[in-house]
Amino acid sequence: MHEIETGRFGLDGGAMFGIVPKPLWEQELPADERNRITLAARCLLLEGRDRLILIDNGVGAPLSEKFADIYALDREHSELHRSLEAAGHDAGDVTDVILTHLHFDHCGGTTHRDENGDWQLTFEHADHHVQRKHWEWARTSNPKEQASFRSENLDPLADSGTVEFVDGREEILHGIEALPIYGHTEAQQMVKISDDDDTLVFVADLLPTTHHLRAAWMMAYDVRPMRTIEEKADFLDKAERADWSLFFEHDPDTAVADLQRTEHGVELAHPRSLEQG
Ligand SMILES: [Zn+2]
């Protein structure tokens, strides 16, 4: 199992924390002069049983200079292909890509421009596992998520015939289960990875960073905010009881953490990198 850092990017701090006043969230994650906070696009690579599985794939190559500027794309820090290489693999080795949802900061690496400027699949030998309801939602889109669903990512995927639909809570591959949630967008799937001893959940945009555990600390991007509050409370309670570890995709500092129950509720424990176990 490897962390695959695909590059840093920036999103508006206000949008990332919804109704939380800036003096509070800024103490946790400082903003730049354009009010953006730096986020990771950290993916997970799973090796085993003749499969190489990648969960999400980051923002990908910038669509334009303007796009790179708006989102403060930083691929100096890290980049998808360099990270795969450091883990001993390349994109052609990946057999399965599990996409938690189709916002560009999760699936932007799915496609890239070839030398003729045409968009091509990056993982040419992979199946792409997506929740069916989310696929249908993204293909019709809506004004709130218009900037998040990019045709450059989705059209080549639709044409490729490599989308494997996942229906609700089901096993995607052996030991890997989809946990669908509906607050951030329609049918996002968290990914629960279990072996004999441990369970790790890739929590995607239910908890984009470790600073999103408190009920009201949630993104303005969510399409159903009250649903997120319920799903977050329910998940944190369940995860703490079951001793699941959490994998954070966007937290700039922490990849993995556990949970503990205190008088203040369920809180973070033992933040670490994947390599530290
Ligand atoms: Zn999202």
Tell whether 218 is covered by a domain.
yes
Measured CA angle at 61 (ends 58, 62), to 5 deg: 110
Quick check: 60 and 110 in contact, CB under 8 A?
Answer: yes
106 CA from centroid of ligand 1 (Å): 7
Task: Confirm whether 178 is domain-assigned.
Answer: yes
CA of 188 to the centre of ligand 1 (A): 8
**In this structure, how many other beta carbons lie within 10 angstroms of the beta carbon of residue 49?**
10
Distance 215 CA to ligand 1 centre (A): 18
Ligand 1 centroid–CA 145 distance in Å is: 9
The reported pLDDT for the residue numbered 277 is 67
Residue 246's CATH number: 3.60.15.10
181 occurs within a structural domain: yes
Question: Which residues lie at CB < 5 A from ion ligand 1?
Answer: 103, 205
What distance in angstroms lies between residue 58's CA and the mean position of ligand 1's atoms?
Answer: 11
Instruction: Calculate how far, in angstroms, residue 48's C-alpha sits from the geometric centre of ligand 1.
Output: 28
**CB atoms near residue 90 (< 10 Å):** 12
| pLDDT of 196 | 84
With CA atoms as reference, report the closest residue to 261 among 269, 250, 270, 271.
269
Cα–Cα distance measured from residue 174 to residue 194, given in angstroms and rounded to the nearest whole number: 9
Instruction: Specify if 67 maps to a domain.
Output: yes
Q: Is residue 155 part of a domain?
A: yes
Distance (angstroms) between ligand 1 centre and the Cα of 182 equals 11
- Going from the Cα of 184 to the center of ligand 1, the distance in angstroms, rounded, reads 7
pTM of this structure: 0.97
What's at 148, amino acid-wise? S
| Sign of torsion over alpha carbons 194, 261, 223, 120 | negative
Residues 6+ apart with CB under 8 A from 243: 199, 258
Residue 245 CA to ligand 1 center (angstroms) comes to 21
**Packing angle between helix 151-160 and helix 132-140, nearest 10 degrees?**
130
Element of type H or E holding 139: helix 132-140
* Residue 141, pLDDT score: 81
State which residues form the domain around 33: 2-272
> What's the gap in Å between 181 CA and the centre of ligand 1?
12
- Amino acid letter at 219? M
Give SS3 for 259: strand
Helix (H) or strand (E) holding 88: none
102 in any annotated domain: yes
Q: How many C-beta atoms lie closer than 10 Å to residue 167's C-beta?
A: 11
109: alpha, beta or left? (left if phi > 0; alpha if psi -120 to 50): alpha
The encoded tokens of residue 117 equal 């400027």
How far away, in angstroms, is 263 Cα from ligand 1 center? 31
Find the 205 Cα to ligand 1 centroid distance in Å.
5
The pLDDT value given to residue 154: 96
Q: Report the number of distinct structural domains present in the chain.
A: 1
Q: How many angstroms separate the alpha carbon of residue 212 from the centre of ligand 1?
A: 14
Q: Within the chain, which residues score under 50 in pLDDT?
A: none
Ligand 1 centroid – CA 116 distance (Å): 30
Are residues 97 and 57 in contact, defined by beta-carbon separation less than 8 angstroms?
A: yes
- Does the residue 277 lie in any domain? no
Residue 174 lies in a domain: yes
Residue 224 alpha carbon to ligand 1 centre in Å: 12
Ligand 1 centroid distance, CA of 216 (Å): 17
Span from the CA of 76 to the centroid of ligand 1 (angstroms): 23
Please give the distance, rounded to the nearest whole angstrom, from the Cα atom of residue 220 to the centre of ligand 1: 11
Among 241, 264, 247, residue whose Cα is nearest residue 3: 247
| pLDDT of amino acid 63 | 84
Distance 196 CA to ligand 1 centre (A): 31
